[in-house]
């Protein structure tokens, strides 16, 4: 039964003017790498709703696939004619028509990165977003007010300050501010996992309190080994009902009011705002920036030290102290004398 069937197929091919040899070449050509464009890389944007035939024409015109017949045979061989997905695709190397169809069937669209550093406020994140290819600052700020995304963890949130996790996000070109913000909150939830939720419960701290403290730690130090120590200072001050006296909270208060000019004065430290931790005891009303994972962990795992003071050494590190006398000595050495020496050297 097999031989007559093969003979019939061969006859059909011959009548079609192709022949077995030509058909074999055509059939195998779908698996041969091809590159018909000159640029180092090529982007093809497949619009939603485009038919398989339309996609084939677009790929041929772009020089990704050799011709329409090769595309149709590759599509038939793959069996994926109904699975091709819209999106922007990047090509840079010779690739077979079969592999092109596989890429489109899997929806392996080209992703563009946008990176948010730790310690940014949502306004600063909006500026980063504005410089990206995805949208403008206003759209990001509007999306950053979607408190419904975090309501189960923080019912008191009035915006998503502190909950927009700082990281590099890879997004398709069609992504918008809402897509990005949802991804950032999802990443925050991954970082604030069951372990941290359990630690927060043990310390009788709400998620909002933890994130707020973590944001203070982040803005105070960028050194991993100092985060738990800075955390300990703030925990010790909270336990002893000593004002936190955290400069970054004052800066945030001034930013909220549109009054910060890049300089922090003694008068600013008395600015009347619930975020001014020189005036109001306890934690500020909410986060002042986006903490990273290390900051969140440090907020719940402070070092076992008794320090209640610290001051910058002006080299990225800090000097810690138990008493005001020790602290004043550190201030003289690392602030007063430091700037006096700098002025003398100029």
pLDDT tens by residue, 220-257: 999 999 999 999 999 999 999 999 999 999 999 999 99
DSSP assignment of 278-325: TTS-SS-SS-SS---HHHHHHHHS--S----EEEE-SSS-EEEESSHH
Question: How much of the chain, in percent, has pLDDT values that exceed 90?
Answer: 82
Residue ranges of domains in the chain: 31-106, 112-191, 205-307
Asked if residue 89 lies in contact with residue 108, where contact means CB atoms within 8 angstroms, the answer is yes
CA distance 346 to 314: 17
CA distance 198 to 73: 57
Question: Was domain 31-106 assigned CATH 3.30.1490.480?
Answer: yes
CA distance 288 to 70: 58
Residues 89-129: pLDDT tens digits? 999 999 999 999 999 999 999 898 999 999 999 999 999 99
Question: How many Cβ atoms sit within 10 Å of the Cβ of residue 50?
Answer: 15
Handedness of CA 219, 225, 227, 231 (dihedral sign): negative
Mean predicted confidence (pLDDT) in 27-34: 84
* 93 membership: H or E segment, kind and range: none
Lookup: tokens for 168: 């590099």
Residues 194-230: pLDDT tens digits? 999 999 999 999 999 999 999 999 999 999 999 999 9
Asked if residue 232 lies in contact with residue 304, where contact means CB atoms within 8 angstroms, the answer is yes
Lowest-pLDDT range, 75-84, 189-198, 280-289, 290-299?
A: 75-84
Output the pLDDT for position 28. Answer: 65
DSSP assignment of 230-267: HHHHHHHHHHTT-----HHHHHHHHHHTT---S---TT
DSSP letter assigned to residue 88: E
Residues 128-140: pLDDT tens digits? 999 998 889 999 9
* Residues forming a β-bridge with 114: 169
């Amino acid at each position: 039964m097999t031989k007559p069937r093969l003979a019939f197929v061969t006859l059909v091919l011959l009548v079609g003017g192709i022949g077995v040899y030509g058909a074999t070449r055509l059939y195998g050509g779908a698996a041969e790498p091809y590159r018909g464009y000159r640029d180092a890389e090529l982007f093809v944007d497949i619009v939603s709703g485009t038919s398989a035939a339309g996609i084939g024409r677009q790929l041929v015109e772009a020089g990704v696939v050799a011709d329409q017949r090769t595309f149709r045979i590759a599509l038939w061989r793959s069996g994926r004619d109904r699975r091709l997905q819209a999106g922007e695709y990047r090509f840079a190397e010779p690739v077979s028509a079969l592999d092109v169809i596989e890429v489109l069937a899997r929806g392996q669209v080209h992703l563009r990165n946008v990176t948010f550093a730790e310690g940014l406020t949502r306004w600063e994140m909006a500026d980063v977003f504005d410089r990206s290819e995805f949208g403008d600052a206003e759209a990001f700020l509007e999306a950053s007010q979607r408190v419904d995304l975090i309501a189960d963890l923080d019912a008191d949130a009035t915006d998503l300050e502190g909950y927009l996790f700082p990281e590099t996000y890879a997004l398709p070109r069609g992504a918008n501010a809402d897509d990005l913000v949802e991804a950032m909150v999802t990443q925050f939830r991954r970082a604030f996992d069951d372990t941290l939720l359990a630690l927060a419960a043990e310390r009788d701290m709400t998620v909002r309190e933890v994130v707020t403290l973590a944001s203070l730690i982040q803005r105070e130090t960028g050194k991993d080994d100092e985060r738990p120590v800075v955390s300990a200072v703030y925990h010790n001050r909270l336990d002893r009902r000593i004002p936190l006296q955290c400069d970054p909270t004052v800066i945030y208060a001034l930013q909220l009011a549109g009054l910060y000019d890049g300089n922090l004065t003694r008068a600013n430290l008395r600015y009347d705002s619930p975020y001014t931790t020189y005036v109001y005891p306890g934690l500020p009303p909410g986060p002042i920036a986006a903490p990273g994972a290390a900051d969140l962990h440090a907020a719940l795992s402070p070092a076992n030290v008794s320090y209640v003071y610290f001051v910058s050494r002006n080299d990225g590190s800090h000097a810690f102290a138990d008493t005001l006398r020790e602290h004043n000595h550190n201030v003289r050495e690392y602030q007063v004398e430091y700037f006096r020496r700098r002025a003398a050297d100029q």
